[in-house]
Structure 1
C-alpha cells in the first residue's frame, strides 16, 4: 500500500522505515531538504513539495500528517485540499486537540475527502517496538487503511484499534498522555525519596533494574528510567525544567468539564509548570508568611 507522509522528524522517519520494511511504499515531504534526501537514501522517496507528494501517490491517496498541533495542521490541510481528489484520506497522526479534529473532519468531509485521527504513541522506539495507535474517524477509510495500521503497530492484531468516531483517537491519546504525566511523577518522587535517604547509601540504578523484573511497578517507563540512570546515575548536567505538550492540560480541563476528580494528573501538570519557575515566587511567599505568623526563619538568597 502507498502512504504519503508529511513531517520527517525522528518519529516520522522511523514510521517511514517501519512501513518500508513491511513492503509499503512511502513518499515523504519535509521542509528540511536533508531529511527528504535521507529518506530517499534509505529506500523510500523524499520529495520537496506537496505537489510532488500528491503526484507520486495513486488514487485513492492516503496522506499522514506528523506536524505540530494547531495552526500548522490547519495550514497543511488547506494546502492539501487544493491538491487532493474526492475519496483521498488525510490522517492526522500528531497530538491535535480532539475538538479541532472534529471541526477539521466536518470541513474536510464536506469537500469529498476523508479524515482520520490517529493518536500515536511509541516515540523514538516505535521503529523497533511498534506504535500504539488510537484511531478515530469513519469506518470506511479506517478499514481501507488497515494494512498501514497493522504494519505500524506492534503486531497486526495488537496495539492498535478503531476506538470511535472523529476525535475519539485524539481524545484517547490525550488521556493516555495525562496518565503518562502521573506515572512519570510517581516514579520521580519515589526515586527522589530514596536518594534523600543518604544513610542507607541506596544505588538508584541498581534498584531500577531490580524493579524491572517481577515488580508490580515494572513498566516501559521504568525500563527507560533504568537505561537513563545507567548513562547518568546522578543526572549531572540536567536542569529541573520539564516541558509539556499541552495534552496534560487538555486532560485536566476535560476532567473538570466532566466533573471527574483527577488529582494525580492535575498535580503532575502543576509540578511541570513549577519546574520552570526560577527562584519560585510562590514558595518565597509561603516562606515570608510562615515568618510573619510563626516567627520561623526565612532563608535569604
Structure 2
C-alpha cells in the first residue's frame, strides 16, 4: 500500500522505516532536506514539496500527518487540500485535541475528503517494538487503512484498534497520556523516598531491576526507568524542569467537565507545573503564613 508521510522527526522517520520494511511504498516530506535525503537513501521516496508528495501517490491517496498539534495541523491541511482529490484521506497521527479533530472532520467530510485520527504511542522505540495506535473515524475511511495500522502495530491484531468515531482516537490517546503522567509521578516519588532513606544505603538501580521481574509494579515504563538509572544513577547534569505537551491538562479538563474525580492525574500535572517555578511564590507564601500565625522560622534566601 502507498502512504504519504508529512513530518520526519525521530518518530515520523521510524514510522516510515517500519512501513518500508513492511513492504509499503512511503513518500515522505519534511522541511529538513537532510531527513528527506536520508529517507530516499534507505529505499523510500523523500520529496521537498507537498506537490511532489501528492504526485508520487496514486489515488485514492492516504497522507499521514506527524506535526505538532494546533495551527501546524490546520496549516498543513490547508496546503494539502488544493493538491488532493475527493476520496483521498488525511490521517492525523499527532497528539491533537480531540475537539479540533472533530472540527476538522466536520469541515472536510462535506468536501469529499476522509479524515482519520490516530493517537500514536511508541516514541523512539516504535521501529523496533511497534506502535500502539488508537484510531478514530468513519469505518469507510478507516477500513482501507488496516494494512498500514497492522504493519505499524506490535502485531497484526495487537496493540491497535478502531476505537470509535471521529475524535475517539485522540480522546483515548489523551487519557492514555494522563495515565502516563500519573505512573511517571508514582515511580519518581517512590524512588525519591528510597533515595532519601540514606541510613539504608539503598541501590536504586538494583531495586529497579528486582521490580522488573514478578513485581506487580513491573511495566515497560519501569524497564525504561531502570535503563536510565543504570546510565546515570544520580541524575547528574539534569534540572528539575518537566515540560508537558498538553494531553495531561486536557485529561484534567475533561475529568472536570464529566464530573469524574481524577486526583492522581491532576496532581501529577500540578507537579510538572511546579517543577518549572524557580523559588516559587506559592511555597514562599506558605512559609510566611506559618511565620505569621505560629512564629515558625522562615528560611531566608
Q: What band does the TM-score fall into relative to the shorter chain?
A: over 0.9
The corresponding residue for 2:101 is: 101
Mapping of residues 1-301 of structure 1, within 5 Å: 1-301=1-301
Secondary structure of 1:58's aligned partner: coil
Once the two structures are superposed, what CA deviation does each residue of 1:177-223 show, in whole Å capped at 9, x if it has no partner?
A: 00000000000000000000000000001100000000000001000
Within 2, Cα distance between the matches of 1:215 and 1:140?
A: 43
Secondary structure of 1:115's aligned partner: strand
Within 2, Cα distance between the matches of 1:43 and 1:288?
A: 64
Secondary structure of 1:27's aligned partner: strand
Within 1, Cα distance between the matches of 2:237 and 2:109?
A: 50
Give 5+ residue unaligned stretches, structure 1: none
Secondary structure of 1:146's aligned partner: helix
Once the two structures are superposed, what CA deviation does each residue of 1:132-174 show, in whole Å capped at 9, x if it has no partner?
A: 0000000012110000000000000100000000000000000
Within 1, Cα distance between the matches of 2:108 and 2:35?
A: 28
Q: Which runs of 4+ in 1 moved over 3 A?
A: none
Within 2, Cα distance between the matches of 1:86 and 1:20?
A: 26
Secondary structure of 2:83's aligned partner: coil
Within 1, Cα distance between the matches of 2:230 and 2:201?
A: 17
TM-score (norm: length of structure 2): 1.00
TM-score (norm: length of structure 1): 1.00
Secondary structure of 2:128's aligned partner: helix
Once the two structures are superposed, what CA deviation does each residue of 1:33-75 show, in whole Å capped at 9, x if it has no partner?
A: 1111111111111000000000000011000000000000000
Within 1, Cα distance between the matches of 2:75 and 2:55?
A: 20
Give 5+ residue unaligned stretches, structure 2: none
Within 2, Cα distance between the matches of 1:237 and 1:268?
A: 23
Offset at 1:292? 1.0
Q: How many residues align?
A: 301
Once the two structures are superposed, what CA deviation does each residue of 1:243-288 show, in whole Å capped at 9, x if it has no partner?
A: 0000001000000000000000000000000000001110011011
Secondary structure of 2:239's aligned partner: coil
